[in-house]
Structure 1
Amino acid sequence: MNNWFKSGSPWVWLSAGGVSISLISVIGLLWLIASRGLSYFWPADIYQFEMTDEQGINTTVIGEIYDRENIPTSQLVHLNLDLDTSVESIERLLIKTGNRELVSLDFRWILVPQISQQSLPEDLVLIERRTNGNFYGYIENIILDGRTVGLEKMPELVERVSEFQAEMEELQKVDIGAINYQIERTRLKERKHKLDETLTPELQLEFKNTVASLRADYEVLEHALMGLREKISRDQIVMRAMDGQKVTINFENILKINFNNQLTLFGKIKLFFSQIGSFISDDPREANTEGGVFPAIFGTVLMVLLMTVIVSPLGVVAAIYLHEYAGNNALTKLLRIAVINLAGVPSIVYGVFGLGFFVYMVGGSLDQLFYAETLPSPTFGTPGVMWSAITLAILTLPVVIVSTEEGLSRIPSAMRHGSLALGATKAETLWRIILPIASPAIMTGIILAIARAAGEVAPLMLVGVVKMAPNLPLDGNFPFLHLDRKFMHLGFHIYDVGFQSPNVEAARPLVYATALLLVSIIVALNMTAVSIRNRLREKYRMLEH
């Protein structure tokens, strides 16, 4: 036994066991997120329950089964139900009933013993709407331009409305948005000339004519927009809800109409991937509890890329100075201690620093110098994507410095001496020999920085991220990339939907779906960086040896 311990085998097995437990934990966590997140997109069956409540009244409930649980029979004694007291627990179902204009909540619990009949009618319909969530019921009538038509016209109507909605969105976000942007820029130019006391009558007349021309174009586009709205407002569908009440829904408020109970396995798979695509490409709706997360995906990737562009040169230059140029003195030791301590500072502290220094001090100074015409409305003196990227760059800077310096320290000094002996300067040796060999270590630091920055939320809440951003930081208006704008982030989206949502039950599957998407994006960014690192390692392997 003593020899066994001396051989080191116990520590090998202990390390292997720790690695195995870690891998099992990670795989289990990913499986939990993936199973619950992907189930959000699978088209569920729509049930019709015939029930008898404690007063003996017969009711009908229509909806999807979201959850099941068993509760002790003793907890239901106060309901005066005719229950078998010999049974320890009773199953109850969580049903998503939708129809918010008729009932106050999307979900309700029903007890299995109260169900007298359960069925899956094929003519039950799920209507996904732009507002008020889903509607479940039966189709009574379809009205096209004031005339009742058959069900065969429904796919054509939905496609027609989708085309009209796409045209309306194009008009609102691109054409009308561009005109509003130009009007605002013209107003600011005129105000800047006033502040500089350079506004001549000729310039004033030019600005006035420009605004008049833009407003004329705006009225034309607004008239076209109202025409499109009028066209789609004439088409309606009359639905019969579970209580027999009839509800008229305009097609302009309808996104999809699905007969889930009629779908085959192939149809469900097709709808499954279609809903995943919509989740990735659509904008959020209903306080982020419905729709997609495209603005959050765009904001997350843009912020991480900006952060990487900022932190990479800063971290590499700092590491080169500390390892290649700085002497072994008290100042260098102090700098190394400062770098190590920065890595342990809580992230929210970086957020407070970014808000106070970058936003209020630097951003406020930029507004005073270059954007005085917009004051008191701030341009850069308010949280935005640029300040978020810089704040996270400072947060991840120690990781890049330490990783790069470790890569530099592994390069034999004989390679430096040989290069210098052959007549190369220190800068040439650094650029042509040292940095290429150390590039895999630099990429390792960048990979770690990306992994940490993509998941940070606390500092972003102070320096730029918001619940809902109406405009992306990138659009067709000059200068195209607007670094002063606020943005959405997947990490904050998870926090907002999971903890700030007014409808927790509806938001719970969305939390897992968004978490799965965030993990996928982080893995994709890391795999891209890893592939670049491996290419660099293979490219400079001969130089290293």
Structure 2
Amino acid sequence: MREKFFKSGEHWVWFNAGAIAISIIMVVSLIALIAIRGLSHFWPANVHVYQTQLDNGTQQLSMGELYDEEVPKGADPAVEKQILLKVGNRDLYGLDFRWLKARNITDVSMREDVMVIERREWGNFYGFVENVRFDGKNYSVNDETFYEKFQMAIDRANELHDTVKDLEKGDIGSINYQLEQLRLDRRRLELENEATDEALADIAQREQALKDEFEVLQAEMFAIYDKANRDSVDVVTIDGKPLTIKASNIVMALQPNQMSWIEKVGHYFIKVAEFIFDEPREANTEGGVFPAIFGTVMMVILMSIMVTPFGVVAAVYLHEYAKQGFLTRTIRIAVNNLAGVPSIVYGVFGLGFFVYFLGGSIDELFYPEAKPAPTFGTSGLLWASITLALLTLPVVIVSTEEGLSRIPKSIREGSLALGATKVETLWRTVLPMASPAMMTGLILAIARAAGEVAPLMLVGVVKLAPTLPLDGNAPFIHLERKFMHLGFHIYDVGFQSPNVEAARPLVYATAFLLVLVIILLNITAIKIRNRLREKYKSLEH
């Protein structure tokens, strides 16, 4: 019986099924681990007060969120267990976290009036609010309208902050961009010996008009700053340290120990939305990752637009036109070997050829007025997309060739017999039938390109990009600009952050978001491939 089982080869079927099942379980478990550790960061945890007795006999009060627990390997948990407490108040304590020995904890309690204030600088504040200054009036915590005025001060400060940000990125940013263009126009006229008095006077007149407009907007912005800094709140820590926080420095305030489960769920989704749609702050350890999402998606789209036609043309030439001989076989071997080249090598090539050589030549020919500042002769979105297109090109070529080889020869011969030319046969019959294979190659290219980091560090990605590659200034899409990327953001936050413990949850959250972005891009491509496959399935039989 056993010999018959092994001779039939059925054991290999079970072996493969088991291996696939184990792989699926491992992948799902990994994604679940990343999701739990990342998304739990946004939940408003309760704040506890810990009373500890130090080894010298002194009493100490600590307050914060329970962040982690640790027991040294082989140690007695009752003696060596430690808890990591997120105490915040970095401007007062120097660190966001504090280790407490479990054996020194004499009491753990919760106070309902604990206030958690999320700040734009210095991280969270944990403590108690005593007084709020709103519209020049002081309101004590004992006043009936205290919390109403406190929330009004925060709401107004956030509105003013958004107004200032819109001014800086909108009108003021546009003026600065136009002033830079006028400076380049003047320099261009000087290089071409066309700097006539009339031309220079026209540029000077337009510059003065923009500067006048800028001064008006700047005065408006300073007035907003003064108004935003007028309100403040007086707070105190658990150990009695007083502090005054400007309302303009507050993102939001909450009392988690008083919040119901429904209120916590609402706050959770607000924080998740902030993470997705806001910009990063505090050295990327707080705020959102929208610029990184935007940069990742835009780079992948540009890469796809570039790699698909070149990969398809190369595959069509190798399979349909090239004479099948030693040279063609050598080219195929080279293409297959290119798929195994380390990605950092592509980054070095992209930096040397695309950025320095090609970009420098473009600057010499088309942007001499901007020198010595480079325009395309520096890392940017365009060169990053081309580098990744080159990196993923072998995948598209191989997949397309395999698709072309699966199309029966009779279909080509039938098309030619009906009077179609070879080009018409390829364009109207062969390529549409091979399109599912092309999409398969594109799916693999997207999956690899979206997660690559090493080459991007050389050809365009940065820690923080002040402006997106897409804005309201002509030509609207700025391919020469540097950009943010989710993969590099994970590396930067996880390994280059000045506050590793605070950044750790964001590493998991960003990693989970990157996986979701890749899945969504792949699902879109798979849907297109399946539709094409269903459309041309009947032609294959």
Output the TM-score relative to the length of structure 1.
0.96
> Superposed, which structure 2 residues align to 1:133-172 within 5 Å?
133-149=123-139, 150-172=146-168
Partner of 1:80: none
Partner of 1:511: 507
CA distance in 1, matches of 2:71, 2:379: 48
Partner of 1:22: 23
Match of 1:406 among 402, 409, 414: 402
> Superposed, which structure 2 residues align to 1:255-404 within 5 Å?
255-404=251-400
Unaligned ranges ≥5, structure 1: 75-85
Partner of 1:38: 39
CA distance in 1, matches of 2:436, 2:395: 14
After superposition, the C-alpha distances for 1:313-365 in whole angstroms (9 at most, x for unaligned) are 00000000000111112221111011011001000000000000000000000
Partner of 1:452: 448
CA distance in 2, matches of 1:335, 1:129: 58
CA distance in 1, matches of 2:152, 2:499: 33
**Greater Cα shift, 356-365 or 428-437:** 428-437
> Superposed, which structure 2 residues align to 1:178-217 within 5 Å?
178-217=174-213
After superposition, the C-alpha distances for 1:57-115 in whole angstroms (9 at most, x for unaligned) are 122111111001224797xxxxxxxxxxx976432210011101110111011112222
- 1:98 and 2:104 correspond: no
Unaligned ranges ≥5, structure 2: 140-145
CA distance in 2, matches of 1:260, 1:313: 55
Partner of 1:130: 120
The offset of 1:152, in angstroms, is 2.0
CA distance in 2, matches of 1:116, 1:6: 69
Matched residue SS, 1:321: helix
Partner of 1:114: 104
> Superposed, which structure 2 residues align to 1:530-541 within 5 Å?
530-541=526-537
The offset of 1:544, in angstroms, is 2.5
Q: Which amino acid aligns with 1:503?
A: N
The offset of 1:506, in angstroms, is 0.8
The offset of 1:234, in angstroms, is 0.7
CA distance in 1, matches of 2:337, 2:82: 53
- 1:55 and 2:56 correspond: yes
CA contact (8 A) 1:71 1:89 kept: no
- 1:238 and 2:234 correspond: yes
Partner of 2:214: 218
Partner of 1:82: none
CA distance in 1, matches of 2:115, 2:448: 44
Matched residue SS, 1:138: strand
Q: Which amino acid aligns with 2:38?
A: G
CA contact (8 A) 2:78 2:103 kept: no
Partner of 2:425: 429
After superposition, the C-alpha distances for 1:281-326 in whole angstroms (9 at most, x for unaligned) are 1111111111111111111001000000000000000000000111
Matched residue SS, 1:116: strand
RMSD over aligned Cα atoms: 1.2
CA distance in 1, matches of 2:80, 2:57: 19
CA distance in 2, matches of 1:90, 1:464: 47
CA distance in 2, matches of 1:89, 1:22: 40
CA distance in 2, matches of 1:528, 1:9: 36
Q: What percent identity do the matched residue pairs reach? A: 57
Matched residue SS, 1:127: strand
CA distance in 1, matches of 2:406, 2:280: 49
Matched residue SS, 1:288: coil
- 1:469 and 2:469 correspond: no
CA contact (8 A) 1:51 1:60 kept: yes
The offset of 1:146, in angstroms, is 2.7
CA distance in 1, matches of 2:491, 2:163: 33
Give the number of aligned pairs.
Answer: 534
CA distance in 1, matches of 2:484, 2:238: 38
Q: Which amino acid aligns with 2:47?
A: I
Matched residue SS, 1:244: coil
**Greater Cα shift, 509-518 or 326-335:** 326-335
Matched residue SS, 1:40: helix
The offset of 1:4, in angstroms, is 1.7
Q: Which amino acid aligns with 1:15?
A: N
Matched residue SS, 2:138: strand
Output the TM-score relative to the length of structure 2.
0.97
4+ runs of 1 displaced by more than 6 Å? none
**Greater Cα shift, 46-55 or 17-26:** 46-55
Q: Which amino acid aligns with 2:49?
A: Q
The offset of 1:499, in angstroms, is 0.8
CA distance in 1, matches of 2:515, 2:338: 26
**Greater Cα shift, 146-155 or 373-382:** 146-155
CA distance in 2, matches of 1:331, 1:90: 69
CA distance in 2, matches of 1:343, 1:226: 55
**Greater Cα shift, 263-272 or 141-150:** 141-150
CA distance in 2, matches of 1:514, 1:194: 48
The offset of 1:408, in angstroms, is 0.4
Q: Which amino acid aligns with 1:479?
A: P
After superposition, the C-alpha distances for 1:520-545 in whole angstroms (9 at most, x for unaligned) are 00000000000011111112222223
CA contact (8 A) 1:146 1:235 kept: yes
CA contact (8 A) 1:70 1:89 kept: no
After superposition, the C-alpha distances for 1:473-532 in whole angstroms (9 at most, x for unaligned) are 011111110000001100001111111111111111111000000000000000000001
Are residues 259 and 88 of structure 1, via their aligned partners in 2, closer, same or farther at CA, if it must alter by over 3 Å?
A: closer
Matched residue SS, 1:394: helix
CA distance in 2, matches of 1:120, 1:173: 43
CA distance in 2, matches of 1:286, 1:162: 17
Are residues 100 and 517 of structure 1, via their aligned partners in 2, closer, same or farther at CA, if it must alter by over 3 Å?
A: same
